[in-house]
Homo-oligomer: A and B are copies of this chain.
Amino acid sequence: MKANDMILVSVDDHLVEPPTLFEGRVPARFADQAPKVVTDDSGADVWVFNGAVIPNIGLNAVAGRPKEEYGIEPTAFDEMRPGCWDVHERVKDMNAGGVLASMNFPSFPGFAARLFAAAEDKDLALAVLQAYNDWHVEEWSGAYPGRFIPMALPILWDPELAAAEVRRMAAKGCHSLTFTENPSALGYPSFHEDYWDPLWTALCDTSTVMSVHLGSSGRLAVTAPNAPVDVMITLQPMNICAAAADLMWSRVIKEFPDLRIALSEGGTGWIPYFLDRLDRTYEMHHLWTGQDFGDKTPSEVFRERFLTCFIADPVGVKLRHDIGIDNIAWECDYPHSDSSWPDAAEGLERVMAGVPDDEVAKITFENACRWYSFDPFAHRSREQCSVGALRAEAGDHDVSIKSFDHGRVEKKVGVRALDVAERATA
């Protein structure tokens, strides 16, 4: 399929929260304690909440910047492309990239909102988290109906409250919950305990997908403290197979057959090997480990429950039928460093050369829409949704690579795993 004829719905992008997010959204008694942006001595804009200082990591807001400017240093709002944090600019960038719709994971709270969960005052935590969710669905996704798959932050500290929040958000049309790929690593009960059952029930009842983003437990792949950062970058998507294995062999999968899970930013090329490994492990070991999938194989169960995604994965495309053609979605990863924006469509045209049009459509938007109960065509005609049509709408919106380097940050070459891990857990 030609790039301009595609329809693109991305199941993994990121927003950088604007400083005004909580304004007027928390009860007056918490106004002073709500997260706020301050500019630190180095000139970086950082979020402050509950005694923690959370920088915006440069690498997570590099869309449209030269690769030489990539780095892990904390950044400032004027060192990012405005589409990172301004929804109106974001939609212009989406149009210019031909992206019809996008699901946006959070930044400073952590993918599973562990920052909010860490507050001892749980009334404050709840107020802030609900303010965020309301802002996301009303001001961010709500500003452009049909252009965003809304996503809710989870409540980690109380499964009944977590369930109630899922139901509250579903009533607002939100059918995606960002969640950690390993609650145990965050100090909460694992997928192998019944603690989370009220949440799983709520997800099933409301057809809300649990979207587990790589790295959401904060557990990074640090092979050695002095390993180069390249090791960590390489391994990131492959590590989500640990989450997939953890879930596959857990009681969650067996006892909540309606639960649907998305492996966000997990890539796809490793999946066929993983499925074969699941089936072989089951065949060789279930007689002594006690696992029981009834009349199904683990790989069959995986395809019923898991959505996978890729940015541009030639191996995944080649093996798409071994993965499951109904199990693959596309992601743009804007504005992170792995993103293919603004030329994603051209990249997809190359990597999917020879793939039949109906299969391209499944991967680029149909699977995403079905899994997330999302219907963009309720808001604009299908003709208006193609890459070509959106780009025509974008007009002369500038997507050229340009420097946002004001000379504030001294760039450092040769970053080590520990540098990143320290910042990630700071």
Q: Which residues of A contact B (CB under 8 A)?
A: 67-71, 182, 184-185, 190-193, 221, 223-231, 233-235, 237-238, 241-243, 245-246, 248-250, 267-270, 272-274, 276-278, 280-282, 284-291, 313-316, 318-319, 322, 337-338, 411, 413-415
Contact = CB atoms under 8 A, between A and B. Distances in A.
B221 A234 contact: no
A303 B364 CA distance: 33
Contacts of A246: 223-224, 227, 231
Given A192-B226, A238-B274, A268-B273, 18 more contacts: A67-B284, A70-B287, A70-B288, A182-B223, A184-B227, A190-B225, A192-B227, A223-B242, A238-B273, A269-B270, A269-B272, A270-B274, A272-B315, A273-B316, A276-B315, A288-B415, A289-B413, A289-B414
Contacts of A193: 226
A276 B67 contact: no
Given A243-B223, A281-B234, A289 B415 contact: yes
A270 B238 contact: yes
Contacts of A288: 67-71, 411, 413, 415
Contact of A230 (B221, B228, B289): B289
Contacts of A234: 245, 248-249, 274, 277-278, 281
A238 B241 contact: yes
B224 A285 contact: no
A285 B243 CA distance: 26
Q: Pick from A190, A234, A287, A337 the residue with the most CB of B within 10 Å.
A: A234
B224 A184 contact: yes
B281 A233 contact: yes
B70 A224 contact: no
Contacts of A191: 224, 227
Contacts of A223: 182, 184-185, 190, 242-243, 245-246
A285 B70 contact: yes
A179 to B, nearest CB: 15
Given A238-B274, A284-B337, A190 B67 contact: no
A184 to B, nearest CB: 4
A230 B285 contact: yes
A337 B226 contact: no
Contact of A231 (B68, B221, B238, B249): B249
Nearest to A217: B223
Nearest to A184: B224
A277 B236 CA distance: 10
B270 A273 contact: yes
Contacts of A276: 269, 313-315
A302 to B, nearest CB: 11
A43 B166 CA distance: 54
A298 to B, nearest CB: 9
A190 B71 contact: no
B224 A192 contact: yes
A247 to B, nearest CB: 9
Contact of A241 (B235, B267, B280, B337): B235
Contacts of A316: 273
A73 B277 CA distance: 24
Q: Pick from A243, A272, A277 the residue with the most CB of B within 10 Å.
A: A277
Contacts of A227: 184, 190-192, 246, 249-250
A74 to B, nearest CB: 15
A337 B285 contact: yes
Contact of A233 (B233, B285, B319): B285
A125 to B, nearest CB: 24
Given A235-B241, A245-B234, A246-B231, A224 B68 contact: no
A67 to B, nearest CB: 4
Given A190-B226, A230-B249, A315-B272, A287 B337 contact: no
